[in-house]
Amino acid sequence: MVIKRGDCLQTETDAKKLHPSLEYLIKKQSFIVPIIAVIVALIIGSVLIYFQGANPIGAYKTILQASLGNERGLIRTLEKTTPLILAGLAVAVALRVGLFNIGAQGQLIMGAFFATWAGFTFTNLPALIHIFVGLLAGIIAGGLWAAIAGILKAYRGVHEVISTIMLNSIAIAILDYLVNYPYKEPDQPLPRTVPILESAQLPKIGFVPVGFILALLVATFISWLINRTTTGFRFNTVGANKFAAAYAGIKIKYVVVSSMLLSGGLAGLGGAIETLGITYRFEPAFNKGLGFDGITIALLARANPLATIPAAFLVGVLRSGAPTLQFDYGLEPEIVDLLLALTLLFVAAPILGKLIFRKRAEKSENVSSGWGS
Amino acid sequence: MSKFLQRHQKAVLSTLLVIVIAYGFYFWDSVRTTSILNFSLSYALPLILAAMVGIIGERSGVVNIGIEGQMLLSAFVAFFAAVATGSLIIGAFLGMASGLLAGAFLGVAAVKWEMDQIIAGVVINIVAAGITSFYYTPGQSLPAIVPRIEIPYLSQIPLIGQVFFNKSIFVYATLILVVVLQVMLFTSKWGLRTRAVGEYPSAADTAGINVYRTRILNVAIAGVLAGTAGAYLSLDAAGWFERGFTAGRGFLALAIMIFGAWNPFGAMAAALFFGFASGMASQLQADEVINIPQQLINMLPYVMTLIILSLAAGKVRPPGAVGQPYKKEG
């Protein structure tokens, strides 16, 4: 792609057009947009629930009660939130570099499987080390899986949206094969692995799962990394303007590959925590759709690492409370998919889209849009 | 004619080669050859249609990542409308209408609101997945099957007759469409305008072409094709619907579009090749010639996509202004 003569001029005139107070609103009050999006989505959702013949307020109340109203519900909510935070972080980190990683799903299940593998393969390890090895296996597996997309992007110009989607399907197929043949639990009808050893299991502190605390720490760390370090500066610069970054001597290919490695590592960690802390084994039907939730979360959080925590919590509450709706109101739990889709629609919708993404899109034109490199 | 042959030497030669090989196999084993080619075509058909959606969009400068969602939505609408009304025709038309709607959304979002085109497409995918998985009701079946239309005389030709001339309306429409699109894109006023808008919008604008309107209309009309692909999938190819029904075909189609160098004929050849590879693998598997677990065979199209895309990079050139919102200067 060629830098056109008008490019820098255009951005200048654009900057003039924005009213100072509006600029302030975008910069400082950016959380308003996602909150409005969520509220609008919930209102429209309530109309849809009403048309399904259920009482919307009652339905929302049921979700809240089931997910936050008692200890078991709360634990389940925290457990659901954990991989969501990490999936959201994965998407957010890549977005900072102008990459749209929609393959968090594949990276997550890769991480989940290899964490499990480490969990049942290594024996005679002390618990702390075994857990560490398991988590590391998940991070590495997820990271390498995403790095394939990064390498294809950096060196072959393959658009990451396509490659990560393909890698999702390939990961599903490979893991399906692994749990059906070489790693199938013997003498069991279901295709799944053997359980991990007790030494690899993530414990709980009180009622709080350790994985959740870990996710909070990781989110804080990523926030520091993105906002306060040279690495983060490189990421943001490449995301904001590839040409300026190259001109400043930043190795773009290196940043693309390493950011995908980090992004996939985060997703892989999410999967690892899930298997080491909750399911204790790997099953192919493992958490379908977590990757897509990650996109919604990252966009809700506007690619701000710390903001992924409340965004993931919101999604976690909905996901953890929704199955009760089936019982109480006969509503399919997929209502959550619909609510989240609506939220995403409004968070990316016209005016919001203009305010949030247009500036990005202009500055980084070919980074997140278009095919060539 | 000789000029045509000179210009398209490779394409003509490889087409002839494919035909000769196909007949060679046909005389060796007619049943299997016919079944593999039938499989190839039915596998390729939605991919061809979806690749046309991508081509129309990108030739006019709009990336369409939302083809997957458009197809999913229209497959859903077509299926359940057909179930509810008892008419496949109404189902198909409503499916196409829903494709149009999703296409129009992408057009307006990408062009008018200047939303990031990739994000707009992903939004379509997620919204389509949300709607179709919530309103999905299991255990429904179609009121009828899509009839085969046998074309007299042509269907009597060995091999080709059964593969191409004894099919449903969807197949004929698609094949005609590819030819029409190829011709239109490179010889008609619409085609010239579309390519101008996609290659160099400011020049097109100077020449008096309405860049915004051309882009929105093209993406919306392409949505009808995505709708047709969805309707074909649920009404004709499968006869049922389930959550996540399209299984990544919309993304495969984008790879096919690139592989076909943004040309309708090229994309059709690429899609047929995809179909052929899958059909071949399934047949070999069924005959126990090779013994690879089904899971790994399912992986084939996705791995092929990645390989093709990484090989195609640098060899084919996307339309100049693809992915960039156009803004009038001044």
Rounded CA gap, B89 and A369, in Å? 37
Which residue out of A102, A159, A290 would a mutagenesis test of the B interface target, given it has the greatest number of B Cβ atoms within 10 Å?
Answer: A159
Banded model confidence at residue A369, pLDDT cuts 50, 70, 90: very low
> Which chain B residue has the Cα nearest residue A148?
B306
Residues of A with Cβ-Cβ distance to B255 under 8 angstroms: 162, 166
ipTM score for this prediction = 0.84
For A306-331, write each residue's pLDDT tens digit: 999 999 999 999 999 988 888 888 88
Q: How confident is the model at residue A365 (pLDDT cuts 50, 70, 90)?
A: very low
What is the total residue count of chain B? 330
A100 has a pLDDT exceeding 70: yes
For B272, the 3-state DSSP assignment is: helix
Distance of residue B84 Cα from the nearest chain A Cα, in angstroms: 17
Is the pLDDT reported for residue B195 higher than 70? yes
Q: Given an 8 Å threshold on Cβ–Cβ distance, is B324 in contact with A181?
A: no
Contact call for B324 and A370, based on CB within 8 A? yes
Contact A354 B133 (CB under 8 A): no
Residue ranges per domain, chain A? 30-369
What pairing do the DSSP bridges indicate for beta strands A204-205 and A208-209? Answer: antiparallel
A180 contacts B293? CB cut-off 8 A: yes
Predicted confidence band of residue A15 (pLDDT cuts 50, 70, 90): very low
Q: What is the pLDDT of residue A349?
A: 67
Q: Across the interface, do B130 and A341 touch by the CB < 8 Å criterion?
A: yes
Q: What local confidence, expressed as pLDDT, does residue A366 receive?
A: 38
- B60-111: per-residue pLDDT in tens? 999 999 999 999 999 999 999 999 999 999 999 999 999 999 999 999 988 8
Whole-number Å distance between alpha carbons of A237 and B19: 53
The distance of A314 to chain B (nearest Cα, Å) reads: 17
Chain B partners of A168 at a C-beta cutoff of 8 Å? Answer: 248
Give pLDDT, residue A102. 87
Give residue A358's pLDDT band: very low, low, confident or very high (50, 70, 90).
very low
CA A358, CA A368: separation in Å to the nearest integer? 12
Q: Give per-residue pLDDT as tens, A50-62.
A: 998 889 999 999 9
Q: Which tens digits make up the pLDDT trace of A282-305?
A: 988 766 778 889 999 998 888 899
Render A105-174 in DSSP notation, one character per residue. HHHHHHHHHHHHHHHHH--S--HHHHHHHHHHHHHHHHHHHHHHHHHHHHHH---HHHHHHHHHHHHHHH
* pLDDT higher than threshold 90 for residue A371: no
The crossing angle, in degrees rounded to 10, of helices B30-59 and B189-199 is 70
Task: Flag if A180 and B136 touch (Cβ within 8 Å).
Answer: no
* Site of tokens 């968090």: A104
Span of A219-233, B28-42, B217-231 with lowest mean pLDDT: B28-42
pLDDT above 70 (res A179): yes
pLDDT at B316: 77
* A146 compared with B284, residue with greater pLDDT: A146
Name every chain A residue with its beta carbon within 8 A of the beta carbon of B248: 165-166, 168-169
Say yes or no for a CB contact (<8 Å) between A369 and B329: no
Cβ contact B309–A338 (<8 Å): no
Closest partner residue to B313 among A156, A165, A341, by Cβ? A156
pLDDT of A372 over the 60 cut? no
Residues 179-208 of A with CB under 8 A from B: 180-181
The minimal CB distance from A292 to the residues B118, B126, B298 is found for B126
Q: What is residue A14's predicted lDDT score, i.e. its pLDDT? A: 43
B247: left (phi over 0), alpha (psi -120 to 50) or beta: left
What mean pLDDT do residues B111-133 have? 87
Q: Which amino acid is at A182?
A: P
Contact list, B324 vs chain A (CB under 8 Å): 365-366, 369-370
Model pLDDT, residue A27: 53
pLDDT at position A36 over 90: no
Calculate the CA dihedral of residues A177, A292, B114, B67 and round it to 10 degrees: 40
A chain contacts of residue B317, beta-carbon cutoff 8 Å: 372
Q: Tens digit of pLDDT for each residue in A337-348?
A: 889 988 988 887
Given a contact cutoff of 8 angstroms between Cβ atoms, the answer to whether B173 and B228 are in contact is yes
pLDDT in tens, A247-271: 989 999 999 999 999 999 999 999 9
Determine the average pLDDT of the residues in A152-170: 90
Cβ–Cβ contact B307 with A under 8 A: no
- The partner residue sitting opposite A166, judged by closest CB among B243, B295, B306, is B306
What is the rounded CA–CA span in Å between residue A201 and residue A204? 10
pLDDT above 90 coverage of chain B, percent? 47
Best interface-test mutation with A: which of B106, B133, B316 has the largest number of A CBs within 10 A? B133
Q: Is the pLDDT of residue B47 over 90?
A: yes
B303–A167 CB contact, under 8 Å: no
- Amino acid identity at A39: I
Is any Cβ of chain B less than 8 angstroms from the Cβ of A344?
A: yes
Query: B323 at the A interface (CB within 8 A)?
Result: yes
Is residue A276 within 8 Å of residue A115, measured between CB atoms? yes
pLDDT of B155 = 83
In CATH terms, A30-369 corresponds, of 2.60.40, 1.10.3470, 3.40.1700, 1.50.10, to 1.10.3470
Q: What pTM was computed for the model? A: 0.86
For the residues A9-27, what does the mean pLDDT come to? 46
> Scanning every residue of chain A, which has its alpha carbon at the shortest distance from the alpha carbon of B300?
A170
Q: Which residue of A has its CA nearest to B253?
A: A162
**Mean pLDDT value across chain A:** 84
Summarize pLDDT for A71-98 with one digit per residue, the tens: 999 999 999 999 999 999 999 999 999 8
The pLDDT value recorded for residue A12 is 39
Q: Do B130 and A340 touch (CB under 8 A)?
A: yes
pLDDT of residue A19: 52
Q: What is the pLDDT of residue A286?
A: 67
Distance CA B170, CA B176 (A): 10
Q: What is the pLDDT of residue A353?
A: 45
pLDDT score of B112: 84
Class of the CATH-defined domain B35-312: mainly alpha
Q: How deeply is B153 buried, as exposed, middle or buried, from its count of CB atoms within 10 A (0-12, 13-18, 19+)?
A: exposed
Show residues of chain A in contact with B318, CB under 8 Å: 370-372
- B244's tokens: 């996540």
Q: Name the packing angle between helices A32-51 and A56-68 (round to 10°).
A: 120
Does the structure show a pLDDT above 60 at B175? yes
Shortest distance, CA B170 to any CA of chain A (angstroms) = 27
Task: Kindly tell me if the per-residue pLDDT of A217 is higher than 60.
Answer: yes
Q: Indicate if the pLDDT at residue B128 is higher than 70.
A: yes
Best of A50, A102, A371 to mutate (most B CBs within 10 Å, chain B): A371
Q: What pLDDT score was predicted for residue B330?
A: 53
Q: State mean pLDDT over A343-360.
A: 61
